[in-house]
Structure 1
Amino acid sequence: MLRLGGRAFTDDRMLVMAIVNRTPDSFYDRGATWQEERALDRVHQVVAEGADIVDIGGIKAAPGEEIDAAEEIRRVAGFVARVRDAYPDLVISVDTWRAEVGREVCRAGADLLNDAWGGHDPRLAEVAAEFDAGIVCTHTGGVRPRTRPHRVEYDDVVRSAIDDTVALAERAVSLGVDRSRVLIDPAHDFGKTTRHSLELTRRLDEMTATGWPVLVSLSNKDFVGETLDLPVDRRLVGTLAATAVCAWHGARVYRVHEVVETRQVLDMVGSIKGLRAPARAVRGLA
């Protein structure tokens, strides 16, 4: 059972985590939700579309303008409080690697800390324990936050992802984070080449076999663009193909830009696997 905030999700439930960027320079939406009211409109939209989780971020992952902790807090903490007031039962995640940011957003009502940079600040897990929040433990191969991979190599990228994320997950539990609130993430593109990300997708069943719930963040990423030779605004079909593979292999949470399309893919895969009944099944019966 996965427990996030006050909600519990059975093991056969695949969850959609909708991305909400409080940044002026995000790679996909180009600052469309930089203004707070626009960001809140985005939250209303994705909740109406069926998102189970919203993931709020204040710094883009790619290199760019230096954003200190105070500015990151300014961008996200008050906004988290507004979302919590609007949706008391919604699972709210915040994408941050900094413990001081994690503390402020948990005080504001966040349920989950999405540590996209793989334990770069080891105190973040302590914050999750302090507030009974969840944490996402990611694999980045040890790269610094907001840097791009350069000639990165692994003997076995899947083995590295499993070993590193499981170690981070076990450490979080040892610090007091509830085991049912911990997820692991292979972190496609982060500290990886396109071939690494493709191999992680192909062998994701090895990660799900650890027993830890797996989160994947595939949406419109460079490994999709390079594989299909497509710009960022034409990567949806490739993203959904990767989503279907990860769903077949048992991933639990999908961090996405497009909620409706992702939900349809997950429902279809769930029905093929026998985890979900068709919405209707009258063909050949009338």
Structure 2
Amino acid sequence: MFDFGSKTYIMGILNLTPDSFSDGGEYFQKDEAVERAKKMVAQGADIIDIGAESTRPGSEKVSAAEELRRLTPVLNKLVAEIGVPISVDTYKAEVAKEVLGLGVDIINDVRGLQWDEDMAQVIAEYDVPVVAMYNGRFCNDRGDIIGSIKNFLRKSIDLAKGAGVKEKNIILDPGIGFGISAEESMEIVRRLSELKGLGHPLLLGTSRKSMLGEILDLPPKERVEGTVATTVMGIMHGVDIVRVHDIKENLRAAQVTDAIFRK
């Protein structure tokens, strides 16, 4: 599915939520969501990542049934028509199993396989890639931030491998903005190369996040250039996938950076 190291993959964000921090409510209806996904693919997205529960601080938790109610109509349409891998952003094994049965290609678990004890087994059963994300909201080990991330993600890797998930299917995300400060997020970006020692591809998700708001003093939709800057820095430090809202701008930056740094 992926040839990591040859290029940077662009993961487009599609939120089927009423309350996401940047675009909540914009793509809550099926037709708008499907149109948005197709537009991102036309602009060059390699993967579409679909979430049906907001992960912003203070957001309302939703049941697996509600998550699936939001996801299923959109997935039924996109799996048949989209032409690129589809990722679903969920930490619930019940949801993961259902969407994988519909033809989803990747699971993006923002709790690093550490919330639902059945998640790793579902990933192994379907033999698909999983993004295991560090989540500072559920981590008590908070000394050096990179050390904390490494310890958390090592546990995620062990859970995955223990359930039979193949090495090649494990992707790691340092969890920018999840229970960590803007200063810590900036430090993570500076030190991303230290995470390559974990031995798995890295995904970076900085798009429009509060770290950029702290630096630029701008609302989320005006943080495009800031996101592009972190995309370039991420690639220079060994990132393989960037998860972004603004496809065209980040793709162009990635193409130039790849041409220089991956040759």
Q: TM-score range by the shorter chain?
A: over 0.9
Residues 39 and 210 from structure 1, CA distance in 2 versus in 1: closer, same or farther, beyond 3 angstroms? same
Match of residue 75 from structure 1 = 70
2:7–2:262 CA contact under 8 A, matched in 1: no
1:157 aligns with 2:145: yes
Shift of 1:143: 2.1
1:127 aligns with 2:122: yes
2:16–2:51 CA contact under 8 A, matched in 1: yes
Deviation string, structure 1 residues 52-73 (Cα, Å, up to 9, x no partner): 1000100111223331110001
2:136–2:175 CA contact under 8 A, matched in 1: no
- 1:75 and 1:107 map into 2 onto residues whose CA distance is 16
Residues 138 and 124 from structure 1, CA distance in 2 versus in 1: closer, same or farther, beyond 3 angstroms? same
Shift of 1:181: 1.3
38, 41, 60: which is aligned to 1:44? 38
8, 11, 14: which is aligned to 1:14? 8
- 1:77 and 1:11 map into 2 onto residues whose CA distance is 33
- 1:264 and 1:84 map into 2 onto residues whose CA distance is 26
SS of the residue corresponding to residue 136 of structure 2 reads: coil
- 1:235 and 1:189 map into 2 onto residues whose CA distance is 15
Shift of 1:242: 1.2
Match of residue 181 from structure 2 = 193
Residues 79-118 of structure 1 aligned to structure 2 (within 5 Å):
79-87=74-82, 89-118=83-112
Structure 2: unaligned runs, 5 residues or longer: none
- 1:8 and 1:230 map into 2 onto residues whose CA distance is 35
Q: What letter corresponds to residue 15 of structure 2 in structure 1?
A: N
230, 251, 258: which is aligned to 1:263? 251
Q: What letter corresponds to residue 135 of structure 2 in structure 1?
A: T
1:78–1:108 CA contact under 8 A, matched in 2: no
Deviation string, structure 1 residues 182-233 (Cα, Å, up to 9, x no partner): 1000000102011110110000000123321000111000111112222212
2:30–2:73 CA contact under 8 A, matched in 1: no
Residues 167 and 64 from structure 1, CA distance in 2 versus in 1: closer, same or farther, beyond 3 angstroms? closer
- 2:91 and 2:115 map into 1 onto residues whose CA distance is 7
Structure 1: unaligned runs, 5 residues or longer: 1-6, 145-151, 276-286
The two structures have a TM-score, normalised by structure 2, of: 0.94
Instruction: Give identity over the alignment, percent.
Output: 34
Match of residue 148 from structure 1 = none
Q: What letter corresponds to residue 166 of structure 2 in structure 1?
A: D
1:31 aligns with 2:19: no
SS of the residue corresponding to residue 32 of structure 1 reads: coil
Residues 172 and 57 from structure 1, CA distance in 2 versus in 1: closer, same or farther, beyond 3 angstroms? same
Rg: which structure is higher? 1
Match of residue 228 from structure 1 = 216
- 2:157 and 2:251 map into 1 onto residues whose CA distance is 27
1:206 aligns with 2:194: yes
1:13–1:252 CA contact under 8 A, matched in 2: yes
- 2:232 and 2:42 map into 1 onto residues whose CA distance is 23
Deviation string, structure 1 residues 34-54 (Cα, Å, up to 9, x no partner): 110000001110111111100
Moved more, 169-178 or 216-225: 169-178
SS of the residue corresponding to residue 9 of structure 1 reads: coil
Q: Which has the higher helix share?
A: 2
- 1:257 and 1:209 map into 2 onto residues whose CA distance is 28
Residue-pair matches, total:
261
Residues 204 and 116 from structure 1, CA distance in 2 versus in 1: closer, same or farther, beyond 3 angstroms? same
Deviation string, structure 1 residues 254-280 (Cα, Å, up to 9, x no partner): 1100011111111111122153xxxxx
Q: What letter corresponds to residue 136 of structure 1 in structure 2?
A: V
- 2:136 and 2:262 map into 1 onto residues whose CA distance is 36
